[in-house]
Structure 1
Amino acid sequence: MTTQFSYPGVYIEEIESPVRPIAGAETSVTAFVGLTLYGPRTPTAVESWADFEERFGGLWTGSELGYAVYQFFLNGGSKALVVRVGEDVKYAEADLGHGVKLRAKQPGKAGDGLKTTVTHDASDTQRYTLAFTDGTVSESYDVSVDPALRSRWPDRLLATSQLVELAADKADQRPDAVADKAFTPGTDAVLKTDAVLGGLKALAESDVFNLLVIPNQLPKPAADPDTRDSLWAPVVDAAVLLCEERRAMLLLDPPFAWDSPAGAATGAKAGLPVAGVAGRNAAVYFPRVLISDPLGGADRKVGPAGTVAGVIARTDTRRGVWKAPAGTDDGGMRGVRSLQFRLTDPQNGTLNKLGVNCLRTFPVYGNVVWGSRTCRGGDVLSDPWRYVPVRRVALYIEESLFQGTKWVVFEPNDEPLWSSIRLNVGAFMDRLFREGAFQGRTAKDAYLVRCDADNNPQAGIDLGIVTIDVGFQPRKPAEFVHIRIQQKRDDAPAQGS
């Protein structure tokens, strides 16, 4: 508003600055969709593995999701968005009477086969022996419900049990005497495609996420793995569509049918899990990885997508979103004991040309991510979005400008506005250039920001449209190191000299 001058003197007026700094969007918030033990069924942010354990129950053998989240945080992830879907799990249980109810420590069918024996102490009505066995491990506890012996109450003693836990709030009475009483069998949660599709709909209404991981998990039918891939295909199609809408990348485990390097090559030649233009927002990794299972027992084979998401998050923090999350320096996979298949160079070469990102094992370096192509990365496609970091830089710029230019809406659409847009968007792009995000020796070579009368004709202004053109020269990863060696010697002296 114009200042009204009336009396002689000094007038102070604050003028709004045209500078509106654009903050960079987050780059590695990873959404996970799948089975959990318990927890909310709405998208929920977790910022550590301990947070996931508290909200969703941590690991259990019936869920691939828990292991994917575990590997994500182990490899450098800092923020996840978890969507719980699927049926509830039921524990194996035993009601011993008088309010004493027990359940298996492990959820689902893992607790089946448990038996318990209760033996009364004839000389003390408050004492009894509680014994369990699953056929392999046996436990026995000398229990008392005497208020003076609180340390020998069942809740205290069973806290150390590997097999069972109390299912009731209290157990202050002596249960009935039984011998080898079988627990009521538990049931595993089953993940169906309809449930996952519902979870994706819920995720569509959530906060910003940049990566999406949906671990492959379906009940094993009598049919071959190709049938399972057909059942899973609607999930992949819906997931990549959501990623296109939300400017995110879909990280894919290998399909069920890719059960060998040759099978992966055959499957990839027939078509990657995501086809067409949508493939620029997806990347598939092969093979599966073996991790040390924190629940004990032998190593567990899991999909690599959760681990790769953690590697991406770590690389973003260390180097930037423009650095390929692969290689001996940035592609190391923590917690991975070995790979399902140890690929050779020729096998790697075949899969790489088809747009499949391979995981490799090298002496000294260990297990590393050794590929950074999108599902549009097949050599025959020659697609400009063939590389993961190139696509992710574009998505990062899009999301940052989407969030950082909302102030433009309803501003007068003329040169003063265009000038302010050029100033603020240009400052954002220049910052990225100085951080090393773009190729080019000078800012003019690296990026452009155009918002003026040339790309905002009167026809567009009349429709209420302001157009901002932003371009950048991406930095593409050096996939192949070509070293040329030849012999060198001094030139022979000219004849007759």
Structure 2
Amino acid sequence: MALDYFAPGVYVEEVDRGSRPIEGVSMSVAGFIGFTEDVRGDAELFKPMMVTNWSQYLEYFSRPASDGFTDFDAYLPFAVQGWFQNGGGRCWVVSIGTKLPGSQPPSAEETATKVLTPGGKPSLSFNLQLPEGGSAPALPASSDSRILIQVTESTPKLEEDPDEDSVLPLDTGEFFTVSVQQGGQEVERYEHLTMNPEVDTAIADYAITALEESEYIQIADISQNGQPLSRRPANGYYEVAPPPYIAPPDRLPRDVQGMRDDREGLQGLFEIDEVAMVACPDLMRAYQEGLLDLDQVHGIMEMMLTLCENSFPGPAYRMAVLDLPPVKLGKNDNQAVPPQEQKPQHAAQWLRTFNRRSMFGALYYPWIQVANPRNGGRPLMVPPCGHMMGIWCRTDESRGVFKAPANETPRGVTGLAYETNMREQELLNPLGINCIRNFANYNRGIKVWGARTLVEPDNIQWRYISVRRLLSYIEKSIEIGTQWVVFEPNDMDLWERVKRTVSNFLERLWREGALFGGAPSEAFYVKCDGELNTHETMMMGRLYVEVGVCPVRPAEFVIFRISQWAPNQ
């Protein structure tokens, strides 16, 4: 606004007095942590990597031309695939390794990058040059340690000062160049190479002999009998990865937990603001393999719930989807059993042993059956967390975050580890264990038949997943959408603008069906006046706004009361 007017005229001034609309945040971004087949490209071990579809997952976490799954049946690939199959969109993936801790290190032949001829036959194999001693590194190698090999055309050697009578060597097409690249830069180059070990060095160099001097790679001749031209490697780019990182078993809990400052592991995942739901499916694989005992599993689950509950300085808005360990408590409390042997009473007994309640956690029973590509498509039981979070995302997109993510069909599921009936669910549902049931008798297939949080059973205010997520959605959206208020003059004009901004946002939610009430006044209220903002609070630079909402709750129990009726004659 102009401070002075000196000349007569018309002055137009722009004054910002209206409310600013609040845009709802996304609650449909997931975070996964577990084992992967490989870590390639821009992805790094222990670091969260954004993935938007299954093809991109394969690009970062699978070997070239692979299906993305592992030979030891890691659960993370199944969870991420289930996430995308069931409607999930963007997610973040943290790889904690490509081998189980304590595994036997693979041989150099197993880790070698094999280069084929244009006819598809073996030609050369490449490995990284290991440090003295020939053992794999104790700590995970960074993505910068990967080497890129480029094979291109070449020619035979030419004399520097050829005579007029010199005969040029015949270019038979067998010659090639190997370029060794790291970090986008060429670090070594070998020209005039051939697969002929008896070649005249005045014409060309035998590839194996020439690359013995390399400081970056090891080379081996794996070609079959034939002429040098038929054994020549095909042109192209070939990635040479370092030996896989194999952690000692006692390091696994630290790798899962990670470091907040280094943006690694679970704590690094929670540094990504958009992640609103997290899961660690391979916690169950580690437990089944005896790498973690039940107390260690409980400790990591506790950490997941604690991280979800602590989101200072903003409101807590993340939820952890836990998996039931396949265990029957008794004489062997720490011994895993096949998921098919875990009955509803065992699930209830485990939850009493875990004894951790939180409105920011959810639990599903039983494990689900999916097709295992590494075993000819035969069935495999996996934890349901990834498929369930995909259903959360699907429900958010189709109906809204206020709709309970239940009575939905999980895609990619061919069966259940245990088929729970209604009487058995009467045991689990009050405890907050959501059942996945097979309604084959009703021709309805498999349905998710529960939508409760792990809050204390008597805390009915936060009983449902949809209510918890709706309130988190409202809180986080208001927090981000009212940042413009900071440092504005704290007067009655600002109070009214804030009230209009928040009221417009809540009225939009009411019209979408997220809030209960026949009118906006019945669905919510926004209070920002002199009663809340006294002279003392204003002197301290504070502005208080009180918001109350009436969320819709799922019709979990539908009761029809039917009686005989005789009309008056």
Q: Which residue number corresponds to residue 33 of structure 2?
A: 33
Q: Which residue number corresponds to residue 422 of structure 1?
A: 499
Q: Which residue number corresponds to residue 447 of structure 2?
A: 368
Which is worse superposed, 245-254 or 391-400?
245-254
Q: Which residue number corresponds to residue 109 of structure 1?
A: none
1:319 paired to 2:384: no
Work out the CA distance in 2 between the residues paired with 1:143 and 1:188: 37
1:70 paired to 2:70: no
Once the two structures are TM-superposed, the CA of residue 85 in structure 1 deviates from its matched residue by 2.2
1:21-67 CA distance string (max 9 Å, x none): 11100011001112222132322211111111111223224321121
RMSD over aligned Cα, in angstroms?
Answer: 3.2
Letter in 2 for 1:2: A
1:248 to 287, 307, 318: 318
SS at match of 2:296: helix
Work out the CA distance in 2 between the residues paired with 1:65 and 1:233: 19
CA contact (8 A) 2:86 2:390 kept: yes
Which is worse superposed, 345-354 or 59-68?
59-68
1:474-493 CA distance string (max 9 Å, x none): 111111111222222234x6
2:299 to 234, 253, 261: 234
Once the two structures are TM-superposed, the CA of residue 262 in structure 1 deviates from its matched residue by 2.0
Work out the CA distance in 1 between the residues paired with 2:507 and 2:354: 37
1:43 paired to 2:48: yes
1:338-396 CA distance string (max 9 Å, x none): 00000111011110011100000112321111100000163xx1431010000000010
Once the two structures are TM-superposed, the CA of residue 461 in structure 1 deviates from its matched residue by 1.2
Work out the CA distance in 2 between the residues paired with 1:186 and 1:399: 39
Work out the CA distance in 1 between the residues paired with 2:296 and 2:541: 46
Work out the CA distance in 2 between the residues paired with 1:185 and 1:371: 41
Work out the CA distance in 2 between the residues paired with 1:324 and 1:447: 20
Once the two structures are TM-superposed, the CA of residue 295 in structure 1 deviates from its matched residue by 2.9
Work out the CA distance in 2 between the residues paired with 1:187 and 1:201: 21
Once the two structures are TM-superposed, the CA of residue 440 in structure 1 deviates from its matched residue by 0.7
Q: Which residue number corresponds to residue 389 of structure 2?
A: 309
Q: Which residue number corresponds to residue 418 of structure 2?
A: 341
Once the two structures are TM-superposed, the CA of residue 315 in structure 1 deviates from its matched residue by 0.5
Residue 467 to residue 220, structure 1, CA distance change in 2 (3 Å) = closer
CA contact (8 A) 2:287 2:294 kept: no
Work out the CA distance in 2 between the residues paired with 1:454 and 1:219: 56
1:305-350 CA distance string (max 9 Å, x none): 10000000000000000000001xxx11000000000011101111
1:84-134 CA distance string (max 9 Å, x none): 22476754542899984389xxxxxxxxxxxxxxxxxxxx989xxxxxxxx
Work out the CA distance in 1 between the residues paired with 2:531 and 2:29: 38
Gaps of at least 5 residues in structure 2 are 63-67, 115-121, 128-194, 198-221, 259-264, 329-341
1:168-188 CA distance string (max 9 Å, x none): 69xxxxxxxxxxxxxx99979
SS at match of 1:307: helix
SS at match of 2:553: coil
Once the two structures are TM-superposed, the CA of residue 299 in structure 1 deviates from its matched residue by 1.0
Residue 360 to residue 154, structure 1, CA distance change in 2 (3 Å) = farther
1:401 paired to 2:401: no
1:212 paired to 2:278: yes
Work out the CA distance in 1 between the residues paired with 2:14 and 2:244: 74
Which is worse superposed, 42-51 or 481-490?
481-490
Q: Which residue number corresponds to residue 125 of structure 2?
A: 101
CA contact (8 A) 1:144 1:153 kept: no
Percent of aligned pairs with the same amino acid: 33
Q: Which residue number corresponds to residue 352 of structure 1?
A: 429
Work out the CA distance in 1 between the residues paired with 2:483 and 2:287: 48
SS at match of 2:565: coil
Residue 249 to residue 219, structure 1, CA distance change in 2 (3 Å) = closer
Q: How many residues align?
A: 423
TM value normalised by structure 1: 0.77
Gaps of at least 5 residues in structure 1 are 104-123, 127-140, 157-165, 170-183
SS at match of 1:280: coil
Q: Which residue number corresponds to residue 510 of structure 2?
A: 433
Which is worse superposed, 381-390 or 333-342?
381-390
1:196 to 253, 256, 268: 256
Residue 201 to residue 142, structure 1, CA distance change in 2 (3 Å) = closer
Letter in 1 for 2:452: R
CA contact (8 A) 2:98 2:245 kept: no
SS at match of 2:502: helix
Work out the CA distance in 1 between the residues paired with 2:450 and 2:350: 18
SS at match of 2:109: strand
Q: Which residue number corresponds to residue 471 of structure 1?
A: 548
Once the two structures are TM-superposed, the CA of residue 231 in structure 1 deviates from its matched residue by 1.0
1:458 to 535, 542, 552: 535
Work out the CA distance in 2 between the residues paired with 1:487 and 1:78: 51
Work out the CA distance in 2 between the residues paired with 1:154 and 1:273: 60
Which is worse superposed, 21-30 or 288-297?
288-297
